[in-house]
Amino acid sequence: MNKIKLSLVLLSVAAVFVSCEDREPLSWNTEIFLPLVDDNITWSSSIPDSLLEFGEGGEPARMLYKIPFGEFSADYLPTLPDTLIEENMSMEGNLPSDVPVPLGDLFVNETDEIVFSSFGEGSDAYLKEFSLSAGYMRLSVESSVEGILDMAYYLNSVTVDGVMSGIQLEVPAAQDGVNGFATETLDLAGAIFDLSGENGFSENVMTSTFTTTGSTLNTEVFYLTTTDSMLVEIELIDLTIETAKGYFGQVDIPFDSEVTLIDTITIPNPILDLEGASAKLTIDNYIGAELRLKFDEVSMDDQLLEHPSFYGVHDIARAYWIDETLINHTSLELDLGETGSNIFDLIETFPHDLAMFGSVQLNPFGDVSLGYDYINNAYPPKLELELEIPLKLGLDGVVLEEVYIIDPMDFPKFDGRLLVDLTSTFPVEVIADIDYVVNDEDGTIVSISGNIDAGSAYPEVSQHGLLVIPLNEETVSPGGSVHVSLTASTEGAVTFTGYENVRVQIRIEGTQLIEVD
Amino acid sequence: MLDYRLIFSTTFLALCSLASSANVLTVVVNPDSTEIKREKGGASLSFWATQSGNVISTGFANNLANGGFIGHDILDPILESHTGGFGYVGGSVGWEKVWTSKPFKGSDLALCGSMGSEALYDVRWTSDMFELLWYGNGGHTGRVDVFSGTGVRAGVFNRFGLGLESVKTQQRLEVSVIQRLGGVEWSIPYGYLWLSEDADSLASYLQTEGRLHASIDSTDSGEPSIGFLPSYGIGISGTLPLASETLPIRFEINFKDVGLLFENEGSSVAWFQEGFSTTGLPLYGDSLTIESISNGDLATDSLLLTGSSVKRMTLLPSILSAEFVYEPSEKFMFQMSVKSGGWMPELLYSAGIGWIPSDRIALGVEGRYGGWGGLRSAIWAKLRYSNRRILVVQIESPLGLFFNKEISNNTYGRGVTLRLERIASKR
């Protein structure tokens, strides 16, 4: 036992020999390979993808502008103003004396014709039928009769889902000199208005029926006195026509439209070669009525378009509808680039805006359809400018300026470099200027420049340039920003396929020293 | 010079303390013998502390302890020693008392039991993780760095077992109640980092889970206090010795704490998932630049969940082992064993030879492979210092005990086991 104890003591003594020594901080190097930026600069940076049609087999890409004129819509529809039909039924003079009201039996039953007369703002337009996408009817009754009345108001020629539209109303009895009042609203969305009248050959006519009954809820017999009156109001509110059939009148509708033409192309000192370019204006008519277009002025950046035939009158035949189904629409195409036009001279200046003034006339030949014009609001006429420009251009200057943010990074005792790889297939020489602006107090700037030779998108030949900026802990820790500027110049117009791109890759490589106390 | 003195003195002390006693120690009784009757059963009390690994050599640990610059000449051998893409470190510290009572009257069955405590730890990581930490990602373009499988866990377990032992066959079976006093787990079930060949794009995904098996109470002052959150489990332990009547061989199967731990609710759990891919993005710092997002070249997927766990069942750190002993003569023995469990990532194989110069002393040497570590040595000595009592000393990777000495540089672990055994008395 003593020997065991002795062994343990000696082991402890031995452990003392293995005592700790003075320790210096632990440190080691790690290699850092950090991708920061991978950006692909293509024509999309200058031209929206939707405008660019790529050229295949070395053919030039084409810029396709299809510019709709949204303002050319809706005004051609007949409108239905808010309508108030008010009827005051006074018994004074109509009754010889007070009469008891029979309960449960009609004592007022009145059918009227309502004639719409305000379609088309003074034109001779008339409608046979129309449907609503929105709108409602409100019935309000104020009664001095001292008994409960059951009232109903029906639009006989208006149906919703095949059911006649109408409102039933229970009007309370007047009490102590206070008239009874009731009101009710009916949604008319989807309602179909038949305006052909009871004989079926009229126009703009709608029939209605108004009935009044002494309510069986009355517990006592009440009297209709010679001083009683009933004020009935029917309101048609916010009626929005979805489809209409009839004659829409000979209406002139002015249009005044301005659209942005080219606002994204940031090409320095561009020179366009417009050989093979085309420009046309297309009008599609979806209305079952003739249209007459008249352009008063078309300008690009306030420069007037000159054209030998454009400013004349252009008639467009009506669209062909059968049973509310579109069979064919009609189109008119105007060539804006025909001989005598200066449109390509205007386009060469890369105009920003295009303005157009003129008017459109409905039914220029009168009521030739004998009341069978037809419109559907879901099919407005379309006016579209289409420009097709081949991407053959010259340029001279800075084609791209981009700033990439480098976040602060904790790389102790960093020794490395910032690598900027540029890979280009643009068929022009590109000069790259790189500035790394350090987020330190002095705003230290490290600059470097390099050239990338002309490449080719078809056949694809990439040219590569590598720019190296030395970095240390002082320049990498605070982070900064990498300013990339690419400059290019061509001799005259160069054909671009649209597939050209410059790939910018920025990464950090180097070693850092990690220390642990 | 000091190293050799230390080795010599330690070895000398160990051998002297053993060799001064004489003749050996036959602990194992022939299980088929019907002539041997025990009055009092055997017992043992063990203390151990072991640590092993397959990658982190003592030399490297010394370098870390001493500080200074860690160059590639130091790191390269460590990286190359990652077998199967993983590095491991693990071990345990504990004590255990095993006993057997007198047989029941008229029966060859005796009450037996065991109790003890053990602290277990297990650390594992991928070679890619090691490489990223110590080398950086400079040479990693165009490949996927895998983090899946990285993790660490530790736990403190107390156990008490009670059962029956056949005096005749020495077969033993116990039912054990195991208490996990506390523990911690953290792991990355799934994770990777990918940097493209041209270093122009990067993708990363990390799914990690942590559990602290302790109760955390927030006091009014806002400072949380941590207390024990014990969980209990039940398992079975036992020994199944087999011996040949005609051949000098023995075979023994041992199993310990095979069962389930019923984990209490209330463990703190944090589950974090983060993934992003980019074609150019700073990895560190406040890196989500507006430009990266507006360019649409960034996709992030981040999720952090924290809370308390519900009740669940987990496996106990069970151990299963099999041992084969061949004793061609009274002086020599050969032993082979295989052991699994106990959170060891791989099977632990060992083979060795024992020399029994007298009936009071035995010496042995073993080669071990597996568990947390690679190939390593172990020596043992048994000393019968009284009629029925034996002291067993076992040292694994003895050179590994010499911290900060050059002689220990190529070792990957160390371990010491002391055991006092009381042989069953015979009538």
Task: Decide if B196 and A35 are in contact by the 8 Å CB cutoff.
Answer: yes
- pLDDT, position A9: 45
CB contact under 8 A, A23 and B66: yes
* Same domain flag for A233 and A305: no
Sign of CA pseudo-dihedral B408, B401, A22, B121: positive
> Mean pLDDT throughout A287-314?
91
With CB atoms and an 8 Å threshold, state whether B286 touches A410: no
Say if A38 is an interface residue toward chain B (CB within 8 Å).
yes
Would you state the pLDDT for residue B221? 64
Provide the domain limits for residue A265. Answer: 62-74+251-390
| Listed range (A256-265, A410-419, A443-452) with the worst mean pLDDT | A256-265
The more confident residue out of A283 and A517 is A283
Top pLDDT among A3 and A66 is at: A66
- A187 CB-near residues (< 8 Å, 6+ apart): A136
- Range picked from A232-246, B2-16, B151-165, B305-319 for highest mean pLDDT: B151-165
pLDDT (tens digit per residue) in B191-202: 988 877 766 667
As a whole number of angstroms, the distance between CA B420 and CA B96 comes to: 11
Question: Residue for token digits 């389930």?
Answer: B260
| Chain B residues whose beta carbon lies within 8 Å of the beta carbon of residue A409 | 282, 284-285
How far apart are the C-alpha atoms of A62 and A278, rounded to whole Å? 10
Q: What is the DSSP letter of A75?
A: T
Chain A residues within 8 A of B141 when measuring between CB atoms? 33
Q: Residues B230-260: pLDDT tens digits?
A: 999 999 999 999 988 889 999 999 999 999 9
Residue A55 domain flag: no
Q: In the prediction, which pLDDT does A79 show?
A: 67
User: Distance (Å, rounded) from C-alpha B198 to C-alpha B182?
Assistant: 48
Q: Please report whether residue A218 resides in a domain.
A: yes
Q: Residue B116: enclosing H or E segment and its boundaries?
A: strand B109-126
Confidence of residue B225 (pLDDT cuts 50, 70, 90): confident
Q: Which of A64-68, A139-143, B1-5, B143-147 has the lowest mean pLDDT?
A: B1-5
Residues A89 and A209 in one domain: yes
| C-alpha closest to that of B127 among B147, B110, B107, B143 | B147
Inform me whether the C-beta atom of residue A369 falls under 8 Å from chain B C-beta atoms.
Answer: no
The larger pLDDT score, comparing residue B180 to residue A19, is at B180
Q: Which among B20, B71, B141 has the least Cβ separation from residue A3?
A: B20
Indicate if A269 and A153 belong to the same structural domain: no
Cα separation of A187 and A132, whole Å? 10
> Is B111 contained in some domain?
yes
Interface contact flag, B75 A28, Cβ < 8 Å: yes
Q: Looking at the structure, do residues A255 and A243 belong to the same domain, yes or no?
A: no
Q: Check residue A319 and report its DSSP letter.
A: P
Give the nearest partner residue to B291 out of A7, A24, A405, using CB atoms: A405
> Residue B300: what pLDDT?
55
Residue A10 has pLDDT above 60, yes or no: no
Please give the pLDDT value at position B36: 45
Query: pLDDT at position B56, please?
Result: 93
pLDDT of B123 strictly over 90 = yes
pLDDT higher than threshold 90 for residue B392: yes
Of A330-344, B266-280, B322-336, which range is least confident? B266-280
Q: What gap in Å lies between CA A85 and CA A210, rounded to an integer?
A: 12
Least CA distance to B21: which residue of chain A? A3
Is B13 part of a structural domain of the chain?
Answer: yes
What share of chain B has pLDDT > 90, as a percent?
A: 54
Provide CB contacts within 8 A for A346, sequence distance 6+.
A300, A301, A303, A305
Co-location of A406 and A383 in the same domain: no
Q: What DSSP designation does A282 have?
A: E
Pairing mode, strands A392-394 and A271-272:
antiparallel
Range with lowest mean pLDDT among A319-333, A363-377, A394-408, B323-337? A394-408
Q: Which residues of chain A neighbour B281 with C-beta distances below 8 Å?
A: 35-36
pLDDT at residue B294, as a whole number: 40
Q: Six-digit token pair at A491?
A: 């001799």
Task: Show Cβ contacts of residue B3 under 8 Å, excluding neighbours closer than 6 positions.
Answer: B402, B405, B406, B407
DSSP class per residue in B356-412: --SSSEEEEEEEEEETTEEEEEEEEEEEE-SSSEEEEEEEESGGGGSTTSGGGTT--
Does residue B427 lie within any of the structural domains?
no
Of B70, B280, B285, nearest to A409 by CB-CB distance is: B285
For residue B356, pLDDT over 90 is answered with: yes
Percentage of chain A lying above the pLDDT 70 cut: 91
| B74 contacts: CB under 8 Å, gap ≥ 6 | B60, B63
Burial A2-38 (b: 16+ CB within 10 A, else e): eeeeebeeebeebeeeeeeeeeeebbbbbebbbbbbb
In a domain, A483, yes or no: yes
Contact call for A30 and B286, based on CB within 8 A: no
C-alpha radius of gyration, chain A, whole number: 41
Per the structure, the count of domains in chain B is 1
- For residue A312, the model assigns a pLDDT of 87
Q: What are phi and psi of B127, to 5 degrees?
A: -65, -30
Search chain B and give the residue with CA nearest A29.
Answer: B135
List the structure tokens of A72. Answer: 């050319």
pLDDT for res B380:
96
The terminus-to-terminus CA distance of chain A in angstroms comes to: 44
The DSSP 8-state label assigned to residue A381 in this structure reads -
Residue A239: per-residue pLDDT? 85
Q: What is the pLDDT of residues A345-357, one digit of tens each?
A: 888 887 888 888 8
Chain B interface, mutation test: which of A13, A21, A36, most B Cβ atoms within 10 Å? A36
Q: Is residue B142 part of a domain?
A: yes
Across all residues in chain B, what is the average pLDDT? Answer: 83
Measure CB to CB from residue A36 to each of B75, B281, B404 and give the nearest one: B281
Q: Where among A247, A278, A311 does a domain terminate?
A: A247
What amino acid is encoded at A298 in this protein?
V
- Cα→Cα distances B156→A30, A250, B153, Å: 37, 97, 11
User: Is position A22 within any domain?
Assistant: no
Structure tokens at B55: 């990658």
The pLDDT value recorded for residue A69 is 63
Burial of A484 (0-12, 13-18, 19+ CB in 10 A): buried
CB atoms within 10 A of CB B110: 22
pLDDT band at A123 (very low <50, low <70, confident <90, very high): low
Arithmetic mean of pLDDT, B127-143: 86
Q: Residue A225 belongs to a domain with what CATH number?
A: 2.60.120
Mean pLDDT of A501-514: 87
Instruction: Give the percent of chain B with pLDDT over 70.
Output: 82
| CB-side neighbour CA atoms (13 Å) of A418 | 27
Report which secondary-structure segment, H or E, holds A389. strand A382-390
- In the predicted model, is pLDDT for residue A19 greater than 60? no
- Taking an 8 Å cut-off on Cβ atoms, the answer to whether B287 and A407 are in contact is yes
A5 touches chain B (CB under 8 A): no
* Residue B13 confidence (pLDDT): 37
Where a domain ends, among A211, A230, A247? Answer: A247
CA separation, residue B13 to residues A11, A148, A168, A300, B418 (Å): 9, 122, 116, 106, 15
A416 is a domain residue = yes
Domain boundary among A225, A247, A269: A247
Q: How many separate domains does chain A show?
A: 3
Type of residue at A371: G
d(CA B421, CA B392): 8
Look at residue B375 in the predicted model and tell me its pLDDT: 93
Cα B220 vs. chain centroid, distance in angstroms? Answer: 40
Residues 6+ apart with CB under 8 A from A313: A292, A293, A294
3-class state of residue A50 by DSSP = helix
Is B290's pLDDT higher than 70? no
Q: Are residues A125 and A140 in the same domain?
A: yes
Q: How far apart are CA A322 and CA A421, in angstroms?
A: 64
Beta strands in B127-168 (DSSP E): 143-146, 150-166
Co-location of A376 and A447 in the same domain: no
Across the A/B interface, how many CB contacts are shorter than 8 Å? 130
Residues 6 or more apart from B197 whose CB is under 8 A from it? B141, B142
**Residue A15 covered by a domain:** no
Measured between alpha carbons, how far is A257 from A357 in angstroms, rounded to an integer? Answer: 6
Q: Name A198's Cβ contacts closer than 8 Å, sequence gap at least 6.
A: A113, A207
- A420 and A353, same structural domain? no
- What's residue A182's pLDDT? 94
pLDDT in tens, B102-117: 898 888 899 999 999 9
Q: What is the pLDDT of residue B23?
A: 32
| CB-CB under 8 Å, A11 with B280 | no
The answer to whether residue A420 is domain-embedded is yes
Task: Reply yes or no on whether the pLDDT at A475 is more than 80.
Answer: yes
Nearest CA in chain A to B408: A18
- pLDDT band at B17, cuts 50/70/90? very low
Rounded Cα–Cα distance for residues B14 and B237 (Å): 33
**Is residue A475 included in any domain, yes or no?**
yes
pLDDT at A138 over 80: yes
Dist CA A411 CA A419 (whole Å): 17
Mean of pLDDT values over A79-85: 77
Look up tokens 């009101």; give the residue. A183
CA distance A107 to A222: 13
Structural domain boundaries enclosing B266: 2-422
- Smallest Cβ–Cβ distance between B136 and the set A25, A30, A507 belongs to A30
Are B68 and B113 in contact by the 8 Å Cβ rule? The answer is no
**Number of C-beta neighbours around residue B293 at 10 A:** 13
Shared domain for A386 and A458, answered yes or no, is no
CB A489, CB A435: distance < 8 Å: no
- The whole-number pLDDT of residue A121 equals 56
Say how far apart CA B349 and CA B337 lie, in whole Å.
Answer: 6
Binned at pLDDT 50, 70 and 90, residue A22 comes out as: low
Q: Are residues A256 and A288 in the same domain?
A: yes
What mean pLDDT, rounded, does chain A reach? 84
Are residues A340 and A420 located together in one domain of the fold? no
Helix ranges restricted to H, B113-247 = 127-134
Rounded CA-CA distance B345/B124 in Å is 9
- Give B19's DSSP letter: H
Q: Is the pLDDT of residue B270 over 80?
A: yes
| Whether residues A285 and A356 fall in one domain | yes
Q: What is the pLDDT of residue A119?
A: 64
Mean pLDDT of B39-58: 92
